[in-house]
Structure 1
């Protein structure tokens, strides 16, 4: 009982510190700031860095409904038992990072990314490459210590959203898809299934998504009852906010169905800005006082459509976005840019450290966005480092979220960011 009281005091302290912030700023452990209500981005956050979003016409004429300030979090603060919650990461099968190199010490769940449904049949398409990688992943993960849960992720930034749209539009095609996912997940020893449909484009898609989730959850429960095995988990990676402003008429996710049928939902809180913009920006800003393109707004919007905080796992990037400055002397956030910078617009975290070191880059922490940026000559990089990631994990704790996930394994250096994030989550 004494330990429980002590744990509760620690978390309440974190919560209060997160809300009020602090006056002094350290470059490694900055204060949590809560900006004004903000507008969802008109540029898609993506799960696969190989994807390049393009601005939508809705950028110049945002949905007036999204301009309205959000009301306070309708859910009460709750306390996760010490050490519980989700600390997850995606393993991209296509990058060459070996599954045997995964350090499971800092994670509870690892996602395999990705499989795709076959466009004609809607069954999962297992290519020879997929077969090799599935065997590598599942054959390796089960030998690692400490053990972690595994989820099979379907879709990703390179998926054809029309395939998901057509599949979800009919009960029989939904059943074909669902049965295929269960079959493959069981065959290769996964603990769950993750849907990454990028993105439902309209209200019809969203209605069908709700039907898909309901039918999927019922099928998982039925299969578990028949086989007497633990039910497969069901999760989904989603747009960072509950309303997708990629489209001229932004559709809203079915919050009630998500809260009812998913074990958790994973907003992709990154790629708010990139080299498609004409100015520099922080692509995973916690706050943005000038717009609604921020994690704090996105998470709040999920509360407003009825998804409780204990069903939300917040996305964190292990990569940054780069620009070439028009004028090297104008090097702040929002400075004019002439196109992509190093790495053709993207650098993973280990490459950012190398860039900073080799170019003797100037490194800055931005208090408003709770992010870092660096520049050397005309090259500019916006990214998260240890300090800002620790801050964002504290934000997740303060908002009573279920946990966090990283895109992606293999992009870190010596596990420094997952280690520090795990320490914060464990109240360390």
Structure 2
């Protein structure tokens, strides 16, 4: 499913399923006239007593900044949705180049883009509101999400192609949509719509559906690579050990943000400037079997609270303060965790954000995106990421790490 859904509303799956809408650009323009530039997003969507491979090591801060890009061709973005209860008017858009408004949906009967009645007011005001503080920020529509009717998307994409597979439909979809977007821009004289997709960190969905690499490179402006949700204590196979769900590196495992980005570049052949790395504004909590054994990969007994494992960064900050909980940053894997009693929470702090932004810069990626804006704490993560990126644009490399 799409991980950019409110933790309290949606369950998360490890490998999101892509929902495939069909070619519908003209209807998109008519249904969302309020935004001049929007995205058609196809969501599916250690410092402890462990072996030396998890020893906290110093980073290489002297890696030169080889890549110089202006912010105009970069992506510093996050998502907002009404159900988060974070006021639209409170968004500080100065920290971003792009802001996603979620979620639009597909009418299964007409195959037209629709916005539910409860979201129409906020959607209509989104662009104007976020541009009050930052006139250059681009507003984008996110289509789909975890509550989307998957059958409706699949049906539209497969019309007249009765024997097509899901990924064949997706390839045809983005190729046709790209052509339609270009044609619409020529006929209207307006700036072309942005066409992007949010994809799994792995190159296959559900372990076997392979993405259409060439069409992604040719037809999309960029892809948001979900570089988190690798583990969730609620899942049966993940509830027995403390795990970091968004580690950039992992000495023991192929599942990591770096490995996912590397595969999209080296195997899928996607251009560096079309890859945006995902960073979460939330973490996952586990229940320790023994409160005195609280490092990485230590025994746990499922989620830290009944029925729920995810927790926003704002809540994590409150948890640390209220409980005087210990907090650890691990520079080997690039992740944080905090613990007290039997509660253990893995998450990304300002240190992790700074390091991940540095990684994106060192690889000349297009930028980063985060889910979701309402879970930040007094703009700590948003400000850190934005300032780190801009500092490195000016040649100030605060945190770089060799792979």
2:278 aligned residue (312, 315, 338): 315
Q: In structure 1, what is the Cα distance between the partners aligned to 2:171 and 2:120?
A: 30
Q: In structure 2, what is the Cα distance between the partners aligned to 1:80 and 1:164?
A: 39
Answer yes or no: is the 8 Å Cα contact 1:45–1:270 preserved in 2. no
Question: 2:222 aligned with 1:264, yes or no?
Answer: yes
Aligned pairs, number: 334
Deviation digits for residues 273-326 of structure 1 (CA, Å, limit 9, x no counterpart)? 112222221010101122111001100111111211110011110111111112
2:204 aligned residue (217, 229, 243): 243
Tell me the equivalent position of 1:284: 246
Distance 1:86 1:342, change over 3 A: same
Q: In structure 2, what is the Cα distance between the partners aligned to 1:417 and 1:80?
A: 23
State the shift of 1:243 in Å: 1.9
Q: In structure 1, what is the Cα distance between the partners aligned to 2:112 and 2:144?
A: 12
Distance 1:203 1:380, change over 3 A: farther
1:152 aligned residue (113, 127, 141): 141
1:300 aligned residue (262, 282, 307): 262
Q: In structure 2, what is the Cα distance between the partners aligned to 1:352 and 1:148?
A: 29
1:21-420 paired onto structure 2 within 5 Å: 46-48=3-5, 49=7, 50-53=9-12, 79-84=67-72, 85-170=74-159, 204-244=165-205, 246-247=206-207, 250-275=208-233, 276=235, 277-278=238-239, 279-303=241-265, 304-342=267-305, 344-420=308-384
Q: In structure 2, what is the Cα distance between the partners aligned to 1:133 and 1:104?
A: 16
State the shift of 1:162 in Å: 2.9
Q: In structure 1, what is the Cα distance between the partners aligned to 2:364 and 2:164?
A: 29
State the shift of 1:45 in Å: 7.3
Answer yes or no: is the 8 Å Cα contact 1:45–1:272 preserved in 2. no
Answer yes or no: is the 8 Å Cα contact 1:283–1:382 preserved in 2. yes
Q: In structure 2, what is the Cα distance between the partners aligned to 1:406 and 1:274?
A: 18
State the shift of 1:234 in Å: 0.7
Secondary structure of the 1:151 match is strand
Answer yes or no: is the 8 Å Cα contact 1:285–1:295 preserved in 2. yes
Deviation digits for residues 362-400 of structure 1 (CA, Å, limit 9, x no counterpart)? 111223321000111011100000011100111111111
Secondary structure of the 2:165 match is helix
Deviation digits for residues 200-259 of structure 1 (CA, Å, limit 9, x no counterpart)? xx9921111111001101111111111111111111111122222x34xx1111111011
Q: In structure 1, what is the Cα distance between the partners aligned to 2:336 and 2:91?
A: 26
Answer yes or no: is the 8 Å Cα contact 1:112–1:153 preserved in 2. yes
TM-score, normalised with respect to structure 2: 0.78
State the shift of 1:78 in Å: 7.0
- Is there any run of 5+ residues in structure 1 with no aligned partner, and where? 1-43, 57-76, 174-201
Answer yes or no: is the 8 Å Cα contact 1:238–1:268 preserved in 2. yes
Answer yes or no: is the 8 Å Cα contact 1:203–1:252 preserved in 2. no
Tell me the equivalent position of 1:4: none
Answer yes or no: is the 8 Å Cα contact 1:374–1:381 preserved in 2. yes
State the shift of 1:54 in Å: 5.2
Answer yes or no: is the 8 Å Cα contact 1:47–1:268 preserved in 2. no
- Is there any run of 5+ residues in structure 2 with no aligned partner, and where? 16-64, 397-403
